[in-house]
Chain A
Amino acid sequence: GAGVSQSPSNKVTEKGKDVELRCDPISGHTALYWYRQRLGQGLEFLIYFQGNSAPDKSGLPSDRFSAERTGESVSTLTIQRTQQEDSAVYLCASSPPGDFYNEQFFGPGTRLTVL
């Protein structure tokens, strides 16, 4: 079956512009995660959605970052007024219903470059 997909695969933008990154989770997966991987760094947790519950936004680095998800469908990560330090690979993952022991399935990521 289809895995987690992300679009675009690459995005180049100018400093100060807004960008939207999209994630399509595996069908039936209730949990969705966004991570950021900056060059030479480990993956950083950004935000977590579980069904219709309030999302865990504790990893968002600033109020320029936001994410939405409608039900158990696609999610959009928005970065406003992009800065050069936002350059990174943004990874999305989803996992099936259940508890927090469940395996996360990752998408291929979106590489964001802010000039």
Chain B
Amino acid sequence: KQEVTQIPAALSVPEGENLVLNCSFTDSAIYNLQWFRQDPGKGLTSLLLIQSSQREQTSGRLNASLDKSSGRSTLYIAASQPGDSATYLCAVRAYSGAGSYQLTFGKGTKLSVIP
């Protein structure tokens, strides 16, 4: 059974710092990996999607890398801002065993950026 682990569970940084969030997964037979942002009382917002054949994806101040063989991904946030404060979720997409491909999520990293 696929398991996704995110470290650290919580992180507090001063505004302007660069930071790295870590995600690991136990089964490398994945089709893609996604990073999401979750704000309190709101749904999830997709940040970056990396296909299994890719090594990284970039969007603005965000860069996500994927090392499928070692079961690891990182999300790099440059020049953090208070508006980046949220919970960041990592999810891998793999075969569910019942005819479709589903996401398995980590528990998330709660990020606080202090002004």
- Residue of B97, B98, B99, B100 with most partner-chain A CB within 10 A: B100
The interface on chain B, measured as residues whose beta carbon lies within 8 A of the other chain's beta carbons, has a size of 28
Number of A positions contacting B (CB below 8 A) = 28
Interface assignment of A70: CB less than 8 Å from any CB of chain B: no
Q: A41-B107, A45-B103, A100-B31 are in contact. Are A56 and B46 (CB under 8 A)?
A: no
Q: How far is the CA of A103 from the CA of B44 in the complex (A)?
A: 11
Q: How far is the CA of A27 from the CA of B99 in the complex (A)?
A: 24
Binds A, one of B13-21, B57-65, B70-78, B88-96: B88-96
With contacts A59-B96, A101-B31 taken as known, whether A45 is within 8 angstroms of B104 at the C-beta atoms is yes
Contacts of A104 in B (CB 8 A): 44, 46, 103
B111 within 8 A of A: no
Q: List 20 A-B contacts (CB under 8 A).
A: A4-B43, A41-B107, A42-B4, A42-B89, A43-B44, A43-B89, A44-B105, A45-B96, A50-B100, A56-B98, A57-B98, A58-B98, A91-B44, A101-B51, A103-B34, A104-B44, A104-B103, A106-B43, A106-B45, A108-B42
